[in-house]
Amino acid sequence: MQLPAALRQALDARLDRHAIDDLRSGGERLSGRYRAEIRDGRQHLDGEPAVLAYLAARMPATFAAIRASLEQITLRRPDFAPDTLLDIGAGPGTALWAASDAFESLREATLVEASAPALAVGQALAEEGLAVATRWVRGDATANLAECAPADLVTLAYVLDELAPEARGPLVSRLWRFTRDVLVIVEPGTPAGWQRVLAAREQLLAGGAQLLAPCPHAKVCPVAAPDWCHFAQRVARSRTHRLAKRGTVPYEDEKFAYLAVARRPTVPLTARVLASPRSGSGKVQLKLCTSDGQLRERLVTKRESEMFRTARRLDWGDALE
């Protein structure tokens, strides 16, 4: 996956003015906070250096995870054409860029962000390359969000991990009330991230939400620890991104967990691929979550000619209709 050209150009123009060593050290500190899921009362993006480090080290991968999650919505609901977006914990607008790239219909967006430096950078980036009318609101995700209005698409990406456990459920309920059609939650692809997504899944299903992705069923999740449900998206690195991450290859793979729910049901899936298929001579081994709520290993051989051709094209995260 590539970043949109306008975003790549805007990031390069902003980051090229800063020393790589500064971006690298800031990125390492920021990544350390994300990995450790530190909640010490400080915002991760608490100043301009941290925001610049995010642009260099985290924004491309975060964009890729959100964009991949939105792609599954377009596959499940080809008719979904949101006009409005509400994004909570927007940072510098990563979900805004992903939604604008996924949905040409998007016209208006409200973005809520607690960090003033992140909000300022996000607003400047949006003005440089997006044809979406944006409204930026400085506010905490756990506030009452009184300044926000319901939207066709509501997004909450890489935010639940920054909140105290007791704040997550009320926020999910609040966002569901703001959702006219589709709510998307994205978290890091860690066991803890999956548990947060799983808790939101149970809560939203109890509140009447209809599953879009990734689950092919609304039954109890069959995945059990030490396994966890997560996916991966490869994103191309710019020169600055690669140097800031001390990377030696021109790409990175972002692991993420996600949930997409809607106000109305859609045609159910047959199964979802939960791991990279293992191919051999005349066979493909698939790990599937199936519509009956089971976790199954499925060996597809050449004898099943049509299914074999399908299986050879499948990738981790793909759906079986």
Mean pLDDT along residues 156-176: 95
More confident residue, 247 or 152: 152
In this prediction, residue 294 has a pLDDT band, given cuts at 50, 70 and 90, of very high
pLDDT for 12 beyond 80:
yes
**Which two three-digit tokens encode residue 20?**
């790589």
Is residue 141 within 8 Å of 114, Cβ to Cβ? yes
CA dihedral 104, 97, 65, 217 (to 10 degrees): -40
Secondary structure of residue 255 in the 3-state scheme: strand
How far apart (Å, rounded) are the C-alpha atoms in residues 36 and 33?
A: 5
pLDDT for 202 beyond 80:
yes
- Summarize pLDDT for 106-147 with one digit per residue, the tens: 999 999 999 999 999 999 999 988 999 999 999 888 877 878
- Summarize pLDDT for 68-112 with one digit per residue, the tens: 999 999 999 999 999 999 999 999 999 999 999 999 999 999 999
Whole-model pTM?
A: 0.93
Structure-token match 């105290």, residue found: 164
pLDDT at residue 144 in the model: 72
Distances (CA, A) of 213 to 17, 91, 262, 278: 40, 24, 10, 23
- Summarize pLDDT for 222-273 with one digit per residue, the tens: 999 999 999 999 988 777 767 666 777 778 899 999 999 999 999 889 999 9
How is residue 219 annotated by DSSP?
Answer: S
Instruction: Round the average pLDDT of the chain to a whole number and report it.
Output: 90
pLDDT for 205 beyond 50:
yes
